[in-house]
Amino acid sequence: MSHTEEPTAMIFDIQQFSLNDGPGIRTSIFFKGCPLRCVWCHNPESFVRERQLYYSNMLCTRCFKCTEVCPSGALTETKYRGQTLLKVDHDACIACGKCETVCCYDAVKLVGRPYTVGEVLAQIEIGRPYYDIMGERGEQGGITLTGGEPMMHLDFIEALLARSGDIHVCMETNGYADPESYKRIAPKIDLFLYDYKVTGEALHTELCGVGSERIRSNLDMLYRMGAGIILRLPFIPGVNDSDTHIAAIAELMEKYPEIKWAEIMAYNNFGYSKAETVGLEDKIMNQPSADAADKEKWLGAFEKYGTNIRIG
């Protein structure tokens, strides 16, 4: 990237009024691309870095205008039992964006586009009147870098933070990036929302696509650097919520007493329907969302350890 060009990053959403991605009221910036492939991910459109086709069966009005302009055969008309339907082939999509220019119902579009620092700053400014208003109640709002995995966009993030002024910065991370990168960015991050997903190497690889050793060592490093950390724990009933996992979490929290608290992210199957829109339904699990009984059970299991834990 030439230093005369403005840096850009592939971002697939910027959400105002984010209420559960860090304290207070926040603006969440969702970066595209992630090295992990967690089977429960509820943002599967964030897996790949590149732009990709999104199609909503619900919003589609079957006008078929997109099929008239699609050059690659990703969107075609097909007949089935006397009905004309829209056939979507995500693999055939070349991300040319022609479909977006004719869909007036937001049913078909490309997920993600390159944003300049200036564009992201403009979005951050929209939320600026709101970041401090929970400050009096002990919850400082600001921005949350998330996604996907924001650590894949470090140059951009540094450029962004250099111009975002006095603002509280959270980063949601899976902890998998190389340690040097974390060292580099940590001084600029007020609070890490750090994922700890699965206990046991084999299971971690099976469920997330990568091993967990580096994740644990990065956590240790950041902790010793004095970084602000909240531990984020996706809990999926019957999948990763074993006694072993619970014990391991309790042990981590004991080992790192300065971690503010640990948050259980109870599984919901929101991600599955999103997966369908980007053609990833084979990669994402689908089971009933965790219910109140599950949450009670989990909290109960931590009681004997006295862990500082809550439902996120």
Partner 1 sequence: MNNFKVQNPRKDLCFEIDFTNAYRDAIAQYTHPAQIELACLKAQYPAVLHPIEDEDVFAGRMEMGLIGLGIQGQTGGFGYYINEEKILEALENQSGDAKYREDLHDILTFWKGRNTYDIVLRNMPADIEEALPNDQWKVQPLPASPIIRMAGAFVDFHKLVKIGIPGMECELSAQLEKADAEGQDAVLYQSMLGALGVLKDVCFFYRDQIQEMARDAAAGKRKKQLEDLETALVNITERAPASMLEGLQLIWLYGLMCPLLQFGRLDEHIGDLYVHDIDNGIITEEEALAMVQTFFRLVDHLDSETDGRVVLGGYGRINPENADRFCLVALEACRTVKEILPQTTLRFNDDTPKEVWDAAMRCIEEGRTFPLLYNDEILVPGVMRAFDVERQLAETYMPLGCGEIEFDHYSFGSPNGSLNALKILELAIRGGYEPMIGDYLAPKVKTLAQCETYEEFLDTYKYLLDYFIDAQARFEKYQYDITGKIHPFMMVSMLYDGCIEAGKGIFGGGCAYLHGVLEVYGSVNAADSLGAIKKLVFEEKSLEAGDLVAAMDNNFYNQEALRKRLMDCPKYGNDIDSADAIYVHMHNFTCETIKSKAAKVGLESYLAAIINNAQNTTLGRWVGATPDGRKSGMPMANANNPSPGNDKNGLLAMLNSILKPSHDNHAGMVQNLRLSRELYDDSREKVYAVIDNYFDRGGAQLMISVVGREDLYNAMQTPEDYKDLIVRVGGLSARFVDLNKDVQQEIYDRVTY
Which residues sit at the interface with partner 1, rule CB under 8 A?
Answer: 15-21, 24-25, 28, 42, 56, 58-59, 63, 65, 69, 100-104, 106, 123, 126-127, 129-130, 133-134, 137, 268-270, 272-274, 276-277, 289, 312
- Specify the residue, 15 or 242, whose C-beta has the smaller distance to partner 1: 15
| Contacts (Cβ under 8 Å, ≥6 apart) of 34 | 46, 47, 147, 148, 149, 152, 174
User: CB 295 → partner 1: shortest distance, Å?
Assistant: 14
Nearer to partner 1, 146 or 199 (CB): 146
Nearer to partner 1 by Cβ, of 167 and 248: the residue is 167
For residue 19, the 8-state DSSP code is -
- Nearest distance in Å: CB 99, partner 1: 10
What is the smallest separation between the CB atom of 249 and partner 1, expressed in angstroms? 20
Tell me whether residue 63 or residue 186 sits nearer to partner 1 (CB atom).
63
Helix (H) or strand (E) holding 233: strand 229-235
CA distances in angstroms from 273 to 14, 45, 53, 87, 187, listed in the order given: 20, 11, 15, 17, 37
The nearer residue to partner 1, 99 or 208, going by C-beta atoms, is 99
Query: Which C-beta is closer to partner 1: that of 55 or that of 182?
Result: 55
Angstrom distance (rounded) from CA 66 to CA 99: 5
Q: Which is nearer to partner 1, 78 or 268 (CB)?
A: 268
Contact in structure between 72 and 96 (CB atoms under 8 Å): yes
Q: CB of residue 63 vs partner 1: minimum separation in angstroms?
A: 7
Residues 6+ away with beta carbon under 8 Å from 38: 197, 207, 208, 209, 234
Nearest to 210 by CA among 76, 34, 64, 51: 34
Q: Tokens in use for 136? A: 């009096």
**Burial class (CB within 10 angstroms; exposed 0-12, middle 13-18, buried 19+) of 27:** buried
Taking the complex as a whole, how short is the minimal distance between the CB of residue 142 and partner 1, in angstroms? 13
